[in-house]
Amino acid sequence: MIKQSILLLLLTFLLAACGPARTEPSPASTASPTPQLPSHPWWRDAVFYELFVRSFYDSNGDGVGDFNGITSKLDYLQSLGINAVWLMPINPSPSYHGYDVTDYYNVNPQYGTMDDFKRLLAEAHKRNIHIIIDMVLNHTSSQHPFFVNANNDINSPYRDWYIWSDTSLGSFWHPGKTGFYFGIFSDAMPDLNYRNPAVTAQMENAIRFWLNDVGVDGFRMDAINRLIEEGDKTENTPSTHEWLKGFYQFYKSADPNAYTVGEVFNAGPSLAKTYTGDQLDQIFNFELASSIINSANGGSSSAINSALTFALQDMPDGNYGTFLTNHDQNRVMSQLYGSTDKAKLAAFLMLTAPGTPFIYYGEEIGMQGEKPDEDIRRPMQWDSTSNAGFTTGTPWEPLAADFSTVNVAAQINDPGSLLSLYRQLISIRNQNSALRTGSLALVNTNNPNLYAALRMDNREALLIFANLQNKTIADYGLTLSNSNLRTGNATPSSIFGTGTFAVLTINSNGSLSNFKPLAEIPPYGMYILKIKQ
C-alpha cells in the first residue's frame, strides 16, 4: 500500500511537471482584484483574420503550414489591412484540427517550435497586428496525460477533473476503463469538471502562461457556453455564467488589455448580451452572419434589416464579433454559388456594419469549400503554380480544383477583383471611426432590394446603401424619421462608389424624406457617402 502511494505521488509529480505552472492550484479567480480596463479597447478598432495554421503557408516543404510560413506572409495580411489574427488551435493534439488538446503549455511541433511562435508574435507586433489563439476549455483530448491517468485509476488525483458515472446516462456518455465519462462532442474529447476548483486553477495557469510568459493578445474561447452542465441542460447554464464572471476578473487582472471572444453557437444579440460585460469581451453574432448571406443570396434587405434591428435592441453599441462563415461552416462563396458579385455584397454588408469583423482565410479571394470539414479547411491558394504556392511538398489535404484561377496572385493587381474590394473596404473601415464604433440607424428605402443605413459618431456621418440585385433600381427613396444630423442642406461626397450625387436636405430632428442620391442605382451598386455638415 505504501509502495502504491509512493508510485502515485511520483506519477502525479511527473504529470504536473510536464510544463510551466502545472503544480497545485493557484489562488481562485474570485480572489483577483478588480482590473483597470482600457478606456477604448483595441479590439473595437480591429479587423480580424481567422487562420488555420496547417493550411496557410508551408515554409519547409513538409506539406503542413507552420508559424514561419505565417511570419513570411505578414506583409500580405498588413497589405490587406488586417490588424488582428485569430489562430485556430496551436497546441499539441492527436487530430489535424487541434480541438482536442494534449498539452496546454506548448505548441504543435508540426507547426514549429515555441521560439518560432514567439518570433511570429514579435514580427506581428512590429506591424501592429494583434494575435489571439484558440483556447479549448470545455474538454481535453482523451490522450491528455491527466485523462489517461484518471481513466486508468479510480483513485487518480485527476479522477475528479472529469465527469464519471458507473453506468451510461445517454449519448454523451462513453465507456472508459473504469466507468463511463461525459464528453459532449465525442469520446476523444472528455469534458472537464469545472465544479472542481483544481480544474479552474489549472486552466487559469494556462491562460496566465500564454498572456504573460508568451505574450499573446487574447483568446477565442471554443464552445464556451458548454462549460458546466446542470442536469439535462448542457449549455448556457447559470453555473457557466457564474464561472465566467470569475474568469473575467482573473484574465483582466493578468492583462487588462487581453481580449476574449466566445463561440456560442447560433447566438444572436439577445444571447450574446448575456455573456458580455462581466464574462467575455465579445461573442460572435451568428444571427447577423447568416442574415448577411441570406440578403446577399436572395437580393432582399429583409434578412439583414431584421438581424440589425434585433442587434440595435439588445446590443446597440455593436460590441460583438461579426463574420460571414468560419471553419465549421460551408464557405461563403459556396453558399453564394460561386457568384463574385454576391460575395462582394456580403463583404460590403459585413464591413460596413457594427461589430468587430472576422474574415476566414481565403474568403477574400473567393475560395470555395463544403463539408466534410477538411474541405472547408483546404490549403490557401496563393498562385497558379504547383500546389497553389502553398508548399513545395505534398499538401496535407488536396487543393481545391479552382486554385489555378482563384488565387491571390491572379487578383492582387486587379482593381475589380474580390481581393481588391476587401482591401479597399478594410482601408475605408480603418480610416473612418463611424464604421468601427459609430451608431447605426436603418434607413427605409421603399424598395426591398435596396439596403441603406446611416453610421454616425461625433466625428462623421456616413450614408451606406447597396443594390442587392442584378437589376437597376430607379424606384426608391431614402427616408429616416430622426437622427443626429444637423438641419439644412448637405452635399454628399463618395468614399466608395462613383456617381454624381444629389444635394441632401436634412429636415427637423435630422430626418430624411424620400432622398434619391442617384437617379438610378446600377446592379449590385454599393456606396458609402460622407455627409458634410
Helix, coil or strand: residue 302: helix
CA distance 220 to 222: 6
- Side-chain-side CA neighbours of 80 within 13 Å: the count stands at 27
CA distances to 67, 301, 513 from 446, in Å = 51, 11, 11
**Residue 329, phi then psi, degrees to nearest 5:** -125, 155
Residue type, 233: K
Instruction: Please list, in sequence order, all residues whose beta carbon lies within 8 angstroms of the beta carbon of residue 406, skipping any fewer than 6 positions away.
Output: 365, 366, 367, 368, 381, 400
Q: Return the exposure string of 326-336: e unless at least 16 CB atoms fall within 10 Å of the residue's CB, then b.
A: bbebebbbbbb
Q: At what angle do helices 286-298 and 302-314 cross, to 10 degrees?
A: 160
- List per-residue pLDDT tens for the chain, 533 residues long: 334 333 333 444 344 434 333 433 333 344 455 677 788 999 999 999 999 999 999 999 999 999 999 999 999 999 999 999 999 999 999 999 999 999 999 999 999 999 999 999 999 999 999 999 999 999 999 999 999 999 999 999 999 999 999 999 999 999 999 999 999 999 999 999 999 999 999 999 999 999 999 999 999 999 999 999 999 999 999 999 999 999 999 999 999 999 999 999 999 999 999 999 999 999 999 999 999 999 999 999 999 999 999 999 999 999 999 999 999 999 999 999 999 999 999 999 999 999 999 999 999 999 999 999 999 999 999 999 999 999 999 999 999 999 999 999 999 999 999 999 999 999 999 999 999 999 999 999 999 999 999 999 999 999 999 999 999 999 999 999 999 999 999 999 999 999 999 999 999 999 999 999 999 999 999 999 999 87
Residue with cell 457557466: 240
In the chain, the N- to C-terminal Cα span, in Å, equals 84
Whether 263 is catalytic: yes
The count of other CB atoms within 10 Å of the CB of residue 150 is 26
The pLDDT of residue 13 is 36
The pLDDT of residue 34 is 61
Instruction: Please list, in sequence order, all residues whose beta carbon lies within 8 angstroms of the beta carbon of residue 494, skipping any fewer than 6 positions away.
Output: 501, 527, 528, 529, 530
Query: Could you say which DSSP state residue 295 is in?
Result: H
The pLDDT of residue 504 is 95
The count of other CB atoms within 10 Å of the CB of residue 444 is 16
CA distance 250 to 491: 50
| CA angle (296 as vertex; 290, 298 as ends), nearest 5 | 95
The burial class, CB within 10 Å (0-12 / 13-18 / 19+), for 62 is: middle
The burial class, CB within 10 Å (0-12 / 13-18 / 19+), for 5 is: exposed
The catalytic position among 263, 287, 363, 364 is 263
The count of other CB atoms within 10 Å of the CB of residue 520 is 13
Report the predicted TM-score, pTM, of the whole model to 2 decimal places.
0.93
CA distance 356 to 258: 15
CA distance 164 to 151: 10
Query: SS3 letters for 123-187?
Result: HHHHCCCEEEEEECCCECCCCCHHHHHHHHCCCCCCHHHECEECCCCCCCEEEECCEEEECCCCC
The burial class, CB within 10 Å (0-12 / 13-18 / 19+), for 34 is: exposed
Helices (H) and strands (E) in the chain, counts: 16, 20
CA distance 190 to 182: 6
The catalytic position among 222, 229, 287, 363 is 222
CA distance 509 to 58: 57
